Homo-oligomer: A and B are copies of this chain.
Amino acid sequence: MNSFYIEHPRFFVSVDCLVFGFANGQLNLLLSKRKMEPAQGTWSLPGGFIEENESAEAAAERVLSNLTGLENIYMEQLKMFSQPGRDPGERVLSVAFYALIDLGQEALEIKPSYQAYWFNINKLPDLIFDHPEMVDFALKTLRHTVSTKPVSFNLLPEKFTLPQMQTLFEAIYDRPLDKRNFRKKIQSMPFLVKLNEKDKLSSRKGAFLYTFDNMKYEKARQNGFCFNL
């Protein structure tokens, strides 16, 4: 290993994860009780340090799979936060990621050491450092991204109903949507497959189940189709 860069400082670099989950018509964010000083015991985004030979993406995946037991979670980098003094203990740069997971029926197995819990996005407790800023940034990005790419399906179970999906969008945008216009638009998308099954959990009549067909989406995209909701 050479040392051309030796005169420059080195930094701790962490990742912080904004994990969104949708359940019972509510958009939720996963928070954990901080295990280390400073600010031990207060609420924060789950995170961890980047290790040698690990990309920021890999670190975020590691943190998330430790936390949730899940692999292959949808995840995107948001931004690096690097203000000196953002962590009063030490100089730490942090890369924020957001992740979308379906926390449908099976209660997510959270590793107990993490003391992580779901909070409704509108009822978050106080967070340490610049984590509130990260939440704002993530929410803005999420709102933009779900209207632009078919990522909202990561927040839904494999099979979902249109009322479920509309509720999800209403939770993300934090405003009601017109049912007929929403359904018209969604159903005009060339990748939604209507199944011959109904979900009867939330009404007597039952709502038809749908799935997202990624192959169809990719094909449509290659032919110039542009998702926008």
Interface flags, A1-35, vs B, CB<8A=1, else 0: 11111001111110000000000000000000000
Contact of A56 among B3, B38, B93 (CB under 8 A): B93
For residue A2, give the distance in angstroms from its CB to the closest CB of chain B: 6
With contacts A2-B89, A10-B10, A11-B11 known, is A82 near B53, CB below 8 A?
Answer: no
Per CB-CB distance, the 3 closest pairs between chain A and chain B, nearest first, are A10-B10, A8-B49, A56-B82
The reply on A77 being an interface residue by CB < 8 A is yes
Oligomer: number of copies = 2
Are B84 and A1 in touch, CB under 8 angstroms?
Answer: no
Are A4 and B91 in touch, CB under 8 angstroms?
Answer: no
For residue A13, give the distance in angstroms from its CB to the closest CB of chain B: 5
The reply on A54 being an interface residue by CB < 8 A is yes
23 A–B pairs (Cβ distance < 8 Å), ordered by A: A2-B90, A3-B90, A4-B37, A4-B89, A5-B36, A5-B49, A5-B89, A5-B92, A8-B12, A8-B51, A9-B52, A10-B11, A10-B12, A10-B13, A11-B11, A11-B13, A11-B50, A50-B93, A52-B91, A55-B82, A55-B83, A57-B82, A77-B80
Which of A51, A82, A92 has the most chain B CB within a 10 Å cutoff?
A82
The reply on A79 being an interface residue by CB < 8 A is yes
For residue A55, which residues in chain B have a CB less than 8 angstroms away from its CB? Answer: 82-84
The reply on A63 being an interface residue by CB < 8 A is no
Are A90 and B13 in touch, CB under 8 angstroms?
Answer: no
Are B52 and A80 in touch, CB under 8 angstroms?
Answer: no
The reply on A209 being an interface residue by CB < 8 A is no
For residue A4, which residues in chain B have a CB less than 8 angstroms away from its CB? Answer: 36-38, 89-90
User: Once the chains are docked, how many angstroms separate the CA of A10 from the CA of B12?
Assistant: 5
For residue A53, which residues in chain B have a CB less than 8 angstroms away from its CB? Answer: 84, 91
